[in-house]
Amino acid sequence: MTTDVKNRIQDLIDAHDVVLFMKGTKEMPQCGFSSRVAGVLNYMGVEYSDVNVLADQDVRQGIKDFSDWPTIPQLYVKGEFVGGCDIITEMTLSGELDQLFDQKGVGYDKDAADKIREANA
């Protein structure tokens, strides 16, 4: 990964409290895993920046090298890599994602988070 790509990725992560590197956009995800994570964030009312890795091959490979994580989507909260689809799903259902947002001062709809858990109980 070039320094330029690494710097671009770091700038994106630094510029936004919550960043989702995904296939497609939050309005039109291009894969099921990206759709699931974007759906959780959208439903919970989290304000986040979406980065479409399909639009930039350097970022598509670069983010995998950057995080040392092999798959997309990838969620970052306040500069910290949180995980991909499975981890975000587990954290949502366990309430850990709420705790992370609370700790980091990220706004979200607590009732919506509870509804997700109720629907998947």
Annotated binding-site positions for [2Fe-2S] cluster: 31
Q: At what angle do helices 110-119 and 32-43 cross, to 10 degrees?
A: 130
Ranges of H-type helices in the chain: 3-15, 32-43, 57-67, 85-94, 96-104, 110-119
Contacts of 89 (CB under 8 A, 6+ apart): 36, 37, 40
Annotated binding site: 31
Tell me if 44 sits within 8 A of 75, measured CB to CB.
no
